[in-house]
Amino acid sequence: MLVDGIRAHRWWLVGAGIGLIALSLAPLFLMPFHVRVVQQILFSAGLAVAWTILGGFAGYWSFGNTAFIGLGAFAAGLLETNIAIDSPTLAFVLATLFGCAVCAAVAALLAYPILRLRGIYFAIAMLGVSQVLGELTNNIDAFKGSLGIILPKLAPAAMEPQVFYYYLFLVAAAGTLLVGFLVKVGRIGYGLLAIREDEDTARMLGVPTERYKIGMFVVSATLTGLLGIIYAHSLGYITSGSVYRTDFSLNMIVYSLLGGIGTLAGPILGSFLMVVLTQVVLGRLLDIHMFITGALLVAMVMLAPRGLLGFAENLVRRRGAGLRTVEP
């Protein structure tokens, strides 16, 4: 089944591969500011794809995925600053593995009570979880959330830090996309689709709904944590306020919604457009950029509720050009 799914989407994989090569070469040609912009697109797209694995595919919208950005960042940071290893690279690798493991474990523990909640209740529960974790990190001295953690500098001397982090984000985002792709085109992807459409009927057809939901929640949390760890290092110094950010949680949803929910290309497209819009096009209009962004989102939701991909699909169908396909 998975092999069939991969074969059916091979052109999609080829496209992703070409994109990956282009992005690998891009820092050679881009100015430092633009490297930062693409880096932020990679971070945002990675987060939105990680969110999509549960939110887009199974319809369980988390409004608090920033919980795992913060959790990963602080777990990794605390280990890294307390571990007695001379090699910063090795310390970083160990800390990253530890941070991801903490995210996976916390997600698995949370999953049992809160994935029984459906729809808006799950969304609110996750919002609560992220607030609680942020407050705990801030108020318990051992976590150093209010004082902050200074993370070691990782970039080799021969490399500009923004280029170094650009590649870390590229690897993490590409890995996240690959995981999302394998989930989407395999049997489990259809199971998640069935859960999104009608969970009771899915169970009646033999879909192990609990196992799938818990599994995807853990996967989504782990990937979000990985991106959070890299983000924290790219900042160099973190407090709870810089990683437990509700706007992160919301952006993942908005980018997915804008591009086309339930697809993989959608969150990437949405991240690209929104980051370019807010950082480049409106970068000099700081006073009104939030206003324009908000107005644009309202317009999008009203005019193209299925996102830009859904909008494009409708245009194509209206011209009678071919059948409806499920794009990955």
Partner 1 sequence: MNAAPAEPILRVVGVTKRFRGLVAVNDVTFDVPAGSICGLIGPNGAGKSSLFNLITGYYAPSAGEIRFDGRRIDGLDTYRIAQMGIARAFQIAKPFPELSVLDNVRIGALFGHAGARNVAAVTAAALELTGLASLADRPALGLTVGDLRRLELARAIAARPRLLAADEPCAGLNPTETEGVVDILRQIRAAGVTVLLVEHDMPAVMRVSDTIFVVDAGRKIAEGPPEQVARDPRVIAAYLGTPAEDAPAA
What residue ranges bind partner 1 (CB under 8 A)?
1, 187, 190-191, 193-194, 197-198, 200-209, 323-324, 326
The two structure tokens encoding residue 23: 């992005």
The length of the chain in residues reads 328
CB of 75 to partner 1, least distance (A): 34
> What one-letter code names the amino acid at 146?
S
CB of 212 to partner 1, least distance (A): 10
Of 142, 138, 67, the closest CA to residue 106 belongs to 67
The DSSP string of 169-230 is HHHHHHHHHHHHHHHHHSHHHHHHHHHHH-HHHHHHTT--HHHHHHHHHHHHHHHHHHHHHH
Measured distance CA(282)–CA(280) in Å, rounded: 6
Select 123 or 207, whichever has its Cβ closest to partner 1: 207
Strands (E), 186-316: 237-238
Select 160 or 197, whichever has its Cβ closest to partner 1: 197
Of 29, 42, 28, 37, the closest CA to residue 255 belongs to 42
Measured distance CA(309)–CA(315) in Å, rounded: 10
Select 1 or 120, whichever has its Cβ closest to partner 1: 1
CB of 205 to partner 1, least distance (A): 5
Query: In b/e form, how buried is each residue of 201-227, taking b as 16+ CB within 10 angstroms?
Result: ebeeeebebeebbbbbbbbbbbbbbbb
CB of 325 to partner 1, least distance (A): 9
Residue reference for tokens 């976590």:
143
Select 112 or 291, whichever has its Cβ closest to partner 1: 112
Select 8 or 285, whichever has its Cβ closest to partner 1: 8
CB of 187 to partner 1, least distance (A): 5
Q: How far is CA 64 from the centre of its chain?
A: 12
CB of 202 to partner 1, least distance (A): 8
Strands (E), 140-252: 149-150, 237-238
CB of 306 to partner 1, least distance (A): 10
Select 174 or 261, whichever has its Cβ closest to partner 1: 261
